């Protein structure tokens, strides 16, 4: 399963790689990273059919996660199934949640990320 | 004709007496002058009977001459000196009259009229002078009355002005104290605005600290497993990861530390010690704080932040908190302007806030540009004025730019300029000399 993680903080990358060390080694999960919404769109141009799940931060300089979500829902729904998109944010307030859900997010997670919970969700996804 | 000489002497004494009336000299001279006058009147009648005809004409001028000489020497009558002098012609003409009559009675009898006219003119001279002196005195008296009045008015005005000046000085003192208070509360207000941004900025590194330490604990378990299995290679790879994580923990710990220090610095009273400062770092820090500060209030707000920092920017001698405050203020304004423009509802609009630094000869320049609402031409001149704000009541103190101006121009000998087009952009340029003398 290929997962794209979108976050402007570069240190998110080693964190994911280490947290999912076993899964990666067992070839259950593969990670790719983008440092901005714009980067993510470029990446998806080529590989949207491979990506099963997108985890995106909302608050990023430039294109926000919500905007990215809008583009994903508009441009990358074909061929089905559309990728699962989970929004991640430090501001876990109602307004952000509502906006994300309206734009078609599948889930909404708050920072600091609970990796055990995330793993559980991934299991449900593949089941 | 010596009758006039006696009258002259009599009137001189009488007038001297009148002139000392109502002064402290009156008691000293009143009796003397009165008796002298009576003496003159009596001697006029007596001398004619007592002395022979050749001598009597000399006596009048003699008496008058004596009185004139005596009073001229007397310091008490000094103010009347010019009046007393007017009697001298009468004394001289009187003597001349008597002398000529004695020596050549025939000649005298022939030109009798001229001598009489001479005495009369000398006598009238006294009166003419007396009248004009009196007029002058009156004028002088009036002038002195006016002068006193004026002096009283001047004194009154002076007192009034002194009072006003003291009141103004007190007011200035009060204003200075209020200003200091305002500056402090401006600082605290901007700190309040920043709190959310700061919290967010600290939260991120703290998350990393927590996550990396947690994952490192897990990695150690795994490493132990691998060692038990005897997979030394994998164990070493894990150890390298752990080491890297510890570095990350340290890095993010320091990041949080720096933010807290910066926050403390911002709220402290400035200590007026200029330090060599990296303006790029300062600008970057405050740009983020301002951005997160606004976003904490308006969660849907997003802006593109562009930084174009000159790589070889020299350190600048500045008060870092003060210049930080200026930058913070400019950034906050820039974000506010783009936020306002976004609220106008153009779906294509993308807020952009840009900061750039340039090194020039002997100075550096910092550009802060936004593509927000811009500043209308008619208020452009007012934006640096204290208490001028376009924000709704209660939202802005109106001191931000005014303080910024003071800090840059007065505190650092620099310049602050603005270029703007309404509806399109605003660009502030700060220019700071490399070394600022205190």
What phi, psi does A84 have (nearest 5°)?
Answer: -80, 130
Cα–Cα distance, B65 to B59 (Å, whole number): 10
Return averaged pLDDT per consecutive 10 residues of chain B, 438 residues in all: 82 86 84 89 84 81 89 86 87 87 84 85 87 86 92 94 94 88 74 70 86 92 91 91 93 86 65 84 87 76 87 90 89 92 86 93 94 89 80 73 88 92 93 74
Q: According to the model, what pLDDT value does residue B133 have?
A: 81
Tokens of A46: 């080529």
Taking Cα atoms as reference points, which of B286, B302, B261 lies closest to residue B355?
B286
Cα–Cα distance, A101 to A97 (Å, whole number): 6
- Please state, as a whole number, how many other Cβ atoms lie within 10 Å of the Cβ of residue B27: 9
Tokens of A60: 């990023």
Burial-class residue A53 by CB neighbours within 10 Å (0-12, 13-18, 19+): buried
Q: According to the model, what pLDDT value does residue B168 have?
A: 94
Residues of chain B found within 8 Å of residue A9, distances taken between Cβ atoms = 204, 208
Determine which of B197, B213, B215 to mutate to test the interface with A (most A C-beta atoms within 10 Å): B215
The answer to whether B222 contacts chain A (CB < 8 Å) is yes
Determine which of A7, A10, A11, A93 to mutate to test the interface with B (most B C-beta atoms within 10 Å): A11
The pLDDT mean for chain A works out to 88
Q: Decide which of B203 and A16 is more confident.
A: A16
Cα angle value B250/B252/B256 (rounded, 5°): 115
Of A9, A64, A115, the CB nearest to B302: A64
Q: How far is CA A6 from CA A1, A55, B206, B378, in A?
A: 16, 6, 20, 45
- Could you tell me how many helices (H) and strands (E) chain B has, helices first? 12, 7
Residues of chain B found within 8 Å of residue A67, distances taken between Cβ atoms = 302
Residue of A nearest to B295 (CA): A59
* Domains defined along chain A, listed by start: 2-122 (3.40.50.2300)
Q: Would you say residue B101 lies in a domain?
A: yes
Cα–Cα distance, B302 to B321 (Å, whole number): 27
Alpha helices in B86-111 (DSSP H): 88-103, 105-110
Q: According to the model, what pLDDT value does residue B419 have?
A: 93
The answer to whether A11 contacts chain B (CB < 8 Å) is yes
Residues of chain A found within 8 Å of residue B284, distances taken between Cβ atoms = none
Beta strands in B48-99 (DSSP E): none
Q: Would you say residue B353 lies in a domain?
A: yes
A63-92 pLDDT, tens per residue?
Answer: 889 889 999 988 887 777 888 999 998 776
Q: Would you say residue B248 lies in a domain?
A: no
The answer to whether B277 contacts chain A (CB < 8 Å) is no
Determine which of A5, A10, A15 to mutate to test the interface with B (most B C-beta atoms within 10 Å): A15
Residue of A nearest to B240 (CA): A18
| Predicted-complex ipTM score | 0.82
Would the CB atoms of A90 and B204 count as touching at under 8 Å? yes
Would the CB atoms of A95 and B219 count as touching at under 8 Å? no
The answer to whether B241 contacts chain A (CB < 8 Å) is yes
Taking Cα atoms as reference points, which of B109, B107, B95, B12 lies closest to residue B57?
B95
Half-sphere exposure of B392 (CA within 13 A, CB side): 1
Would the CB atoms of B203 and A67 count as touching at under 8 Å? no
Would the CB atoms of B207 and A112 count as touching at under 8 Å? yes
Final residue of a structural domain among B89, B110, B131: B110
Residues of chain A found within 8 Å of residue B296, distances taken between Cβ atoms = 91
Taking Cα atoms as reference points, which of B196, B198, B201, B286 lies closest to residue B252?
B201
Half-sphere exposure of B122 (CA within 13 A, CB side): 29
- Can you tell me whether residue B431 is helix, strand or coil? strand
B363-370 and B425-433 strand pairing:
antiparallel
Q: Would you say residue B65 lies in a domain?
A: yes
The answer to whether A99 contacts chain B (CB < 8 Å) is yes
Final residue of a structural domain among B50, B83, B110: B110
Would the CB atoms of B219 and A15 count as touching at under 8 Å? no
A51-57 and A84-89 strand pairing:
parallel
Q: Would you say residue B186 lies in a domain?
A: no
Q: Which residues contact B173 (CB under 8 A, 6 or more apart)?
A: none
- A27-32: long-range contacts, CB 8 A cutoff, minimum separation 24: A28/A1, A29/A1, A29/A2, A29/A3, A29/A122, A30/A1, A30/A2, A30/A3, A31/A2, A31/A3, A31/A4, A31/A5, A32/A2, A32/A3, A32/A4, A32/A5
> Considering just the CA atoms, what is the radius of gyration of chain B in Å?
52
Q: Which residues contact A95 (CB under 8 A, 6 or more apart)?
A: B299, B300
Q: Would you say residue B208 lies in a domain?
A: no
User: For residue B323, what are the domain limits?
Assistant: 271-438
A26-67 pLDDT, tens per residue?
Answer: 999 999 999 999 999 999 988 888 899 999 998 887 788 988
Q: Would you say residue B354 lies in a domain?
A: yes
Final residue of a structural domain among B63, B79, B110: B110
Distance from CA of B291 to the nearest CA of A (A): 10
Q: According to the model, what pLDDT value does residue B438 have?
A: 45
Residues of chain B found within 8 Å of residue A91, distances taken between Cβ atoms = 200, 296, 299
DSSP assigned state of A48: T
Would the CB atoms of B300 and A18 count as touching at under 8 Å? no
Alpha helices in B298-371 (DSSP H): 320-343
Q: According to the model, what pLDDT value does residue B384 have?
A: 82
Tokens of B76: 């008490």
Residues in chain B: 438
Give how many domains chain B has, as a whole number: 2
Q: Would you say residue B413 lies in a domain?
A: yes
Would the CB atoms of A113 and B248 count as touching at under 8 Å? no
């Amino acid at each position: 399963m290929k997962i794209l993680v979108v976050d402007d903080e570069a240190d998110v990358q080693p964190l994911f790689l280490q947290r999912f060390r076993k899964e990666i080694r067992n070839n259950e999960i593969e990670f790719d990273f983008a440092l901005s919404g714009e980067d993510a769109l470029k990446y998806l141009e080529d590989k949207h059919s491979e990506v099963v799940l997108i985890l995106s931060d909302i608050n990023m300089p430039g294109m926000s996660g919500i905007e990215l979500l809008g583009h994903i829902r508009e441009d990358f729904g074909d061929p089905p199934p559309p990728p699962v998109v989970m929004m991640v944010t430090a501001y876990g307030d109602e307004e952000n949640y509502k906006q994300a859900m309206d734009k078609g997010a599948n889930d909404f997670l708050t920072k600091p990320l609970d990796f055990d919970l995330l793993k559980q969700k991934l299991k449900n996804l593949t089941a | 004709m010596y009758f006039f000489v006696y009258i002259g002497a009599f009137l001189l004494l009488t007038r001297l007496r009148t002139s000392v009336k109502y002064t402290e000299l009156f008691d000293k001279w009143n009796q003397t002058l009165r008796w002298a006058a009576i003496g003159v009147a009596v001697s006029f009648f007596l001398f004619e009977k007592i002395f022979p005809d050749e001598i009597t004409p000399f006596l009048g001028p003699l008496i008058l001459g004596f009185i004139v000489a005596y009073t001229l020497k007397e310091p008490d009558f000094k103010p009347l000196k010019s009046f007393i002098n007017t009697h001298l012609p009468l004394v001289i003409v009187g003597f001349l009259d008597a002398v000529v009559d004695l020596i050549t009675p025939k000649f005298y009898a022939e030109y009798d009229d001229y001598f009489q006219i001479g005495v009369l003119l000398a006598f009238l001279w006294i009166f003419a002078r007396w009248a004009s002196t009196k007029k002058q005195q009156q004028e002088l008296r009036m002038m002195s009355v006016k002068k006193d009045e004026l002096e009283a008015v001047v004194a009154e005005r002076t007192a009034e002005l002194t009072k006003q000046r003291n009141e103004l000085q007190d007011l200035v003192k009060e204003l200075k104290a209020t200003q200091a208070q305002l500056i402090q509360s401006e600082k605290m207000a901007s700190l309040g605005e920043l709190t959310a941004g700061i919290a967010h900025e600290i939260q991120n590194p703290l998350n990393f600290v927590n996550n990396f330490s947690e994952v490192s604990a897990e990695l150690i378990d795994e490493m132990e497993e691998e060692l038990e299995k005897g997979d030394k290679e994998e164990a070493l790879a894990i150890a390298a990861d752990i080491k890297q994580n510890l570095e990350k923990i340290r890095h993010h710990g320091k990041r949080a530390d720096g933010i807290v220090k910066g926050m403390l610095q911002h709220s402290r009273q400035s200590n007026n010690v200029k330090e060599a400062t990296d303006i790029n770092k300062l600008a970057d820090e405050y740009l983020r704080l301002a951005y997160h500060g606004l976003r904490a209030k308006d969660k849907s707000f997003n802006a593109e932040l562009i930084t174009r920092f000159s790589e070889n920017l020299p350190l600048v001698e500045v008060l870092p908190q003060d210049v930080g405050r200026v930058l913070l203020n400019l950034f906050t304004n820039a974000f506010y302007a783009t936020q306002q423009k976004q609220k106008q509802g153009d779906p294509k609009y993308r807020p952009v806030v840009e900061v750039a630094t340039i090194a020039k000869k002997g100075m550096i320049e910092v550009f802060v540009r936004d593509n927000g609402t811009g500043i209308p031409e008619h208020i452009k001149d007012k934006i640096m004025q204290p208490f001028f704000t376009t924000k709704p009541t209660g939202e802005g103190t109106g001191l931000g730019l005014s303080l910024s101006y003071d800090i840059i121009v007065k505190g650092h000998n620099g310049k602050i300029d603005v270029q703007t087009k309404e509806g399109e952009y605003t660009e502030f340029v700060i220019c700071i000399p490399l070394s600022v003398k205190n």
